[in-house]
Structure 1
């Protein structure tokens, strides 16, 4: 755990989903390979399945931008079909017990809620995906709000977090995530950023600008307990 200065206790914590709460690759990679098998069968894709590291390295982006990177020569119809298939296959995959949260997520969130912290999710994913994970892994009751770009039609996480803060009257929050989009969303909205350095999807500079870095999720408890009241 690293900090760059004194942290102030937040009234709320806003969490990214993929690579922060949820071990995305445990659900995504089986669905990803099945998706391309179907895309080939339907005539939407030719050739090999793009390297899965390309997909993992795109996590945190909007789906529209992910497909431009992963299937750059695909048609708009192929991209829309990829949207549909990936969501369908991932929701089906949630029935598989191998699709898991990071260690200590439920316990840590429960402790934070007991301490009076308001908990939220802000994700660039689709609404059914974000809410599906929260429901399937018993996270939903812990959160006051589950915000997704898919539900609110935001074009950046900055806008999504701004909407969340406004809707819930939050003045002081910690934005917690593993990608540069999370750092940007926190900082552009004047909030503290806690970078999560355990997913391994991004580059070494991905979390530059964070106020603190954690290497396991439960470190949030000690970080919160050691922060100042004001």
Structure 2
């Protein structure tokens, strides 16, 4: 009987990496470059986790395609100006790998950009697979999770994220869900998606994931 490798799936922005300042800066840059009034930080933050096109359409629907082009050009040059892994993330990933789990990232970023980002932050050796969202439904649909697990030929145990879309996608994929409140959605909003765990950091995840039996 074949046993699939047990795998933990993580969102990227706001979950593993504090990337909010760079995302917001690039998002607002597009408006300035087109001579449009830029939205406030809080208004942008509330939409992070949605597809970029939908975020821009919320503020400037007629300019959304052009704004997306400007954002992607600017973000690709500035995506690690201030972005850093959250405290303890590198150690957490290392511990989970040592305990025998595989680790996948499932993000709304495009795959090419997501992999560049993970590599630039030095996290690529810590994970087994990075899956972005390329031409298929975004979270809260479970497609990006299914694709990550399918590419690995693995069994998903937990989906870990910082937005309600992450939690809903994880549940739809049949995984247990862990909401972390240091990202884009606060505890009150995350609670509306009823995650199995709702915590201020990722520390409690280790309590659910003891070392796997070898053999």
TM-score, normalization: structure 2?
0.85
Match of 2:41 in 1: 52
Task: Give the 3-state SS of the residue equivalent to 2:84 in structure 1.
Answer: coil
Pick one of 19, 22, 31 that aligns with 1:27.
22
Is contact 1:105-1:218 (8 Å) kept?
no
Rounded Cα–Cα distance in structure 1 between residues aligned with 2:168 and 2:28: 31
Is contact 2:187-2:198 (8 Å) kept?
no
Is contact 2:158-2:176 (8 Å) kept?
yes
Instruction: Call closer, same or farther: CA 1:70–1:110 in 2, change over 3 Å.
Output: farther
Equivalent residues, number:
205
What is the CA-CA distance between 1:177 and the residue it aligns to? 0.2
Which deviates further from its counterpart, 81-90 or 19-28? 81-90
User: What are structure 2's unaligned runs of at least 5 residues?
Assistant: none
Asked if 1:92 is matched to 2:77, the reply is: yes
Rounded Cα–Cα distance in structure 2 between residues aligned with 1:33 and 1:191: 35
Rounded Cα–Cα distance in structure 1 between residues aligned with 2:99 and 2:93: 10
Deviations 1:150-188 (A, max 9, x none): 3xx211231111222333232342100011111111111
What is the CA-CA distance between 1:226 and the residue it aligns to? 9.6
Pick one of 99, 113, 137 that aligns with 1:115.
99
Asked if 1:156 is matched to 2:138, the reply is: yes
User: What are structure 1's unaligned runs of at least 5 residues?
Assistant: 1-9, 41-45
Is contact 1:26-1:100 (8 Å) kept?
no
Instruction: Call closer, same or farther: CA 1:201–1:172 in 2, change over 3 Å.
Output: closer
The one of the two structures with greater contact order (alpha-carbon pairs below 8 A, sep at least 6) is 1
Is contact 2:80-2:121 (8 Å) kept?
no
Pick one of 17, 37, 48 that aligns with 2:12.
17
Pick one of 29, 37, 40 that aligns with 2:32.
37
Question: Over aligned residue pairs, what C-alpha RMSD do you find?
Answer: 2.2
Instruction: Call closer, same or farther: CA 1:137–1:51 in 2, change over 3 Å.
Output: same
Is contact 1:93-1:99 (8 Å) kept?
no
Deviations 1:77-109 (A, max 9, x none): x2222222222222222352x221211111111
Instruction: Call closer, same or farther: CA 1:81–1:127 in 2, change over 3 Å.
Output: farther
What is the CA-CA distance between 1:202 and the residue it aligns to? 4.8
Asked if 1:187 is matched to 2:175, the reply is: no
